[in-house]
Amino acid sequence: MDVLVFGAGSLGTLVGALLARAHDVTLVGRDPHVAAVREGGVRVSGAVDAHTAPAATTEYDGSPADVAVVTVKSFDTAAAADALAGGSFEAVLSLQNGFVEETLAARLDAPVLAGTATYGARLLDPGRVACTGVGRVALGARRGGIDPHAERVGKAFRDAGIETLVAADMPRRRWEKLAVNAGINAATALARVENGALTDDPGRELARRAARETARVARAEGVSLPNRRALSALDEVVEATSDNRSSTLQDVDDEKRTEVDAINGAVVERGERHRLDVPTNRTLADLLRTWEAGRGVREAVEASAPTRQKESSQ
Ligand SMILES: NC(=O)C1=CN([C@@H]2O[C@H](COP(=O)(O)OP(=O)(O)OC[C@H]3O[C@@H](n4cnc5c(N)ncnc54)[C@H](OP(=O)(O)O)[C@@H]3O)[C@@H](O)[C@H]2O)C=CC1
Ligand SMILES: CC(C)(CO)C(=O)C(=O)O
């Protein structure tokens, strides 16, 4: 299978390198990482050990592929879709946080599959990525149901040794992942702690409040996500990733724009559509955005790529 991975940062490089064990893969990313991959391939370390040689480029040239896997940050989704619009794919799969599939579907002709990834990945140096935790990729039709494209992409992932579930209930899984991220990411970033700090109060109850609010908004959107399911998913991930620094904490560490708009901001925006008050998510979003404004990181991103999406949580 020919695979294009668009957004070869931490997660895209890990997934692309693993897929290259069984498929023809091309990474689209930035130099000097792309140059290093061209020179010596990708070395995967940590929970998975691999060394593969995907192709790599900084500019997608429109070449067709069986599947395009999108792994840019949520606020780069529209720009990524615009870059991919000239290509031809059997399917497009997003592994990003947030409800970005609609942004892709609005711009691309190919069927867009929803995906969640609980693998942990961290780009160490150009050409080197660490797998900080073996999780699972869940993928399927973004509106739910059985999808032949999902079956084919899921087989390709499994053939490459990636833990993969092809799911018919991606709407619930996307909201469940959002509840987990709403509970973990902002709290750990603002408190500057690893995920495991949310095992005990006050962090645990803070995270649970944010997750419960998210589940309530999910139900208002017509998605069956009971509080107990959202809370058990939160507990499972906090335990499984207790030593992790969440991606939002990593962004704060690196003084980079966060995905707050696609996480807590999305809960607030969707809640407002249903006149639901979500005070914990609102406060977490406001605090993170205050940090971003204080560091000027949002403007820096938009200045560097004007076509970058004005964040929306469509
Ligand atoms: N890392 C992880 O463990 C996990 C990440 N995720 C999700 O996956 C997504 C990606 O996360 P992550 O990999 O950590 O983020 P990264 O920032 O490490 O990776 C995204 C990469 O895409 C690049 N990029 C963006 N636009 C373009 C473009 N037009 N052309 C070429 N390269 C481009 C970025 O470069 P630049 O910064 O220079 O624009 C960056 O290198 C996020 O939504 C995240 O929430 C989900 C689960 C786990
Ligand atoms: C699941 C979790 C919270 C793991 O850290 C994650 O997805 C992230 O950090 O963005």
Per cent of the chain over pLDDT 70 is 95
pLDDT bucket at 299, cuts 50 / 70 / 90:
confident
Q: How confident is the model at residue 303 (pLDDT cuts 50, 70, 90)?
A: low
Residue 313, pLDDT score: 45
**CA-to-CA distance for 292 and 263, rounded, in angstroms?**
15
Torsions phi, psi for 82 (to 5 deg): -65, -40
Structure letter (DSSP) for residue 111: P
pLDDT value at residue 120: 87
CA–CA separation, 284 and 303 (whole Å)? 25
Tell me which residue of 147, 122, 219, 146 sits closest to 176, measured CA to CA.
219
Sheet holding 120-125, edge to edge: 50-52, 42-46, 128-133, 120-125
- Within 10 A of 48 (CB to CB), how many other CB atoms are there? 19
| Strands 137-141 and 128-133, bridge-based pairing | unpaired
CA distance 137 to 286: 30
Query: How many CB atoms within 10 Å of residue 312?
Result: 19
In the chain, where the domains are located: 2-168, 171-295
Place of tokens 């790599």: 56
Residue 66 C-alpha from the chain's centroid: 21
Q: Is 244 in the pocket of ligand 2 (CB under 6 A)?
A: yes
Q: Which ligand is nearest to the CA of 244?
A: 2
- Max CA-CA distance within the chain? 54
CA of 178 to the centre of ligand 1 (A): 17
What CA–CA distance (Å, rounded) separates 252 from 11? 18
3-state DSSP assignment of residue 52? strand
pLDDT at 118: 87
Query: 118 or 49, which is more confident?
Result: 49
Contact 237, 195 (CB under 8 A): yes
pTM recorded for the entire structure: 0.93
Lowest mean per-residue pLDDT among 3-17, 111-125, 205-219, 295-309: 295-309
How many helices (H) and strands (E) would you count in the chain?
12, 12
Amino acid symbol at 238: V
- Mean pLDDT, the chain, integer: 94
- What is the mean predicted confidence (pLDDT) over 247-268? 96
d(CA 19, CA 17): 6
Which CATH code, of 3.20.20.10, 1.10.1040.10, 3.40.50.10190, 3.30.70.270, is assigned to 171-295? 1.10.1040.10
pLDDT score of 314 more than 60: no
Res 307 pLDDT > 80: no
Pairing of strands 42-46, 24-28: unpaired
The C-alpha atoms of residue 288 and residue 267 are separated, in whole angstroms, by: 14
Ligand at shortest distance from the CA of 181: 2
DSSP-derived letter for residue 310 is P
Pocket test for ligand 2, best of 241, 242, 252 (most atoms within 8 A of CB): 241
The pLDDT assigned to 301 comes to 57
Q: What is the pLDDT of residue 300?
A: 60
Tell me the mean pLDDT in the region 170-183. 97
> Shortest CA distance to 46 belongs to which of 112, 152, 128, 143?
128
Distance CA 100, CA 104 (A): 7
Structure token digits, residue 152: 């084919």
Q: Which ligand is nearest to the CA of 185?
A: 2
Q: What is the mean pLDDT of residues 24-35?
A: 98
pLDDT digits (tens, 9 = 90+) for 4-18: 999 999 999 999 999
What are the structure tokens assigned to 84, written together? 């991919």
pLDDT tens-place string over residues 43-81: 999 999 999 999 999 999 999 999 999 999 999 999 999
Give the mutation target among 33, 70, 72, 128 for probing the ligand 1 site: most ligand atoms within 8 A of CB: 72
Residue 4 sits at the vertex; the CA angle it makes with 94 and 260, to the nearest 5 degrees, is 30
CA 127 to chain centre: 21
**Looking at domain 2-168, which of 3.30.1490.100, 3.40.50.720, 3.40.50.1860, 1.10.3720.10 is its CATH number?**
3.40.50.720
Whether the predicted pLDDT of 312 surpasses 50: no
Residues enclosing ligand 1, CB less than 6 A? 7, 9-12, 28-30, 71-74, 76, 79-80, 83, 95-97, 117, 120-121, 123, 247, 259
Check pLDDT > 70 for residue 310.
no
What residue owns the CA closest to ligand 1's atom 6? 96
